[in-house]
Amino acid sequence: MPAPKSERLLNLLIMLLVQRRPIAKERIRELLYPDSRPDAFEKMFERDKEELRSLGVPIEVATIDPLFEDEVGYRIPPEAFALPDVELTQEEAAVVGIASRVWQHATMAQATTDAVRKLTAAGIDVDLDALEIARPLLTAEEPAFERCWVAVCERTAIEFDYQRPDADAPMRRRVQPWGVVRYSGRWYLVGYDADRRAERVFRLSRVQGEVRLVGPPGAYDVPPETDVRQIARRMAPPMPTTTAVLLVREGAGHGLRRAAERIEVGVAGPDDHTGWDRLVLVRPTQGLADEVLSHGPDVVLVEPVAVREQVVARLTQALS
């Protein structure tokens, strides 16, 4: 019986990411698609490759042996999959791909372990350090996240009760999910609303109760050229922003520096191990504490005071 699509995609991503050399298509079939007919394998493999590429995963086609240029294989170059300086803003982290979206979910962590064990047992020379670049800075606490993610991967329609802020009670929504994205510090489901017959965006924190899978996998296709992040930007309600003042260690926080409206270099910092710069930038209030904490000791939030107190409280709780 073929593996579920979500598991197959994750296994393929891990296999191609940990390869020190390109792996032949036939070898991929033996390890990940063992029960498929040749024609079925070709179709599934092409779909799976395009699915990963649509999520921002750079799959490279290269010759396996320089002496035989007609024999090609596949791999994901870790240096291309990693974002610059491996310091991710909230926007950048969301496009790393499926590994960074689901790594901290127990079911996907187990799938990762199983995939690596399977490759090792098959004698594949794996580079486990390559997996470190997919370690996420963001987590998804919403209960609806995992079921929505599985539905996106398997192209399965879903039903759920959705509480709008201006409604007295939740409403049942029937959706063909296209993607799950992080925008302005929140997770959103983007898809086709079957009742309204139009694309819609749903904030996962407003989903009430269980998300129900409806019908078989592969029941619909995502429209060509669909950009779920662009849809989220266009349709999601605007998030309140604030002016943040940060102390950033010299040589760190490159994503913050790119977004800064003003940078003052060589200021006094909390330690003298390195130099410090003061950055002023506009950021969504929601998720600002998470973003600051993700940089560890290299970033200190000065203002706004209310968010600084959140950061201090969370660090104090971690220490205790």
DSSP secondary structure of 257-276: HHH-SEEEEEE--S-SSS-E
Q: Which residues contact 309 (CB under 8 A, 6 or more apart)?
A: none
Helices 5-17 and 106-121: crossing angle in degrees, nearest 10, is 50
Q: Indicate the helix (H) or strand (E) that contains 193.
A: strand 186-193
**What's the pLDDT score for residue 135?**
45
Residue type for position 223: P
Q: ∠ CA(217), CA(222), CA(225), 5° rounding? A: 155
Q: Which fold has domain 145-235?
A: SH3 type barrels. (2.30.30)
Neighbours of 31 (CB within 10 A): 18
**What's the pLDDT score for residue 86?**
46
- Cα separation, 301 vs 279, in Å, equals 10
**What's the pLDDT score for residue 134?**
45
pLDDT tens digit string along 169-205?
999 999 999 998 877 667 899 999 999 999 999 999 8
**Residue 117 pairs with which residues in a beta bridge?**
none
- Tokens representing 18 are 């940990």
Neighbours of 68 (CB within 10 A): 9
User: Closest by alpha carbon to 188, among 240, 235, 137?
Assistant: 235
| Ramachandran bin of 13, using left for φ above 0, alpha for ψ from -120 to 50, beta for the remaining angles | alpha
**What's the pLDDT score for residue 176?**
96
**What's the pLDDT score for residue 31?**
83
**What's the pLDDT score for residue 4?**
65
| CB-based burial label for 232 (10 Å; 0-12, 13-18, 19+) | buried
Q: Are strands 276-284 and 262-267 parallel, antiparallel or unpaired?
A: antiparallel
pTM, to two decimals: 0.46
- Tokens representing 274 are 């390195």
**What's the pLDDT score for residue 115?**
58
- Cα separation, 308 vs 11, in Å, equals 40
Residue type for position 246: L
Spans of all domains in the chain: 5-134, 145-235, 241-319
**What's the pLDDT score for residue 191?**
94
Dihedral (CA of 185, 191, 193, 198) sign: positive
In this prediction, the residues of the chain whose per-residue pLDDT falls under 50 are 1, 83-86, 88-107, 132-138
- Tokens representing 236 are 């999601």
**What's the pLDDT score for residue 124?**
56
- Cα separation, 206 vs 200, in Å, equals 14
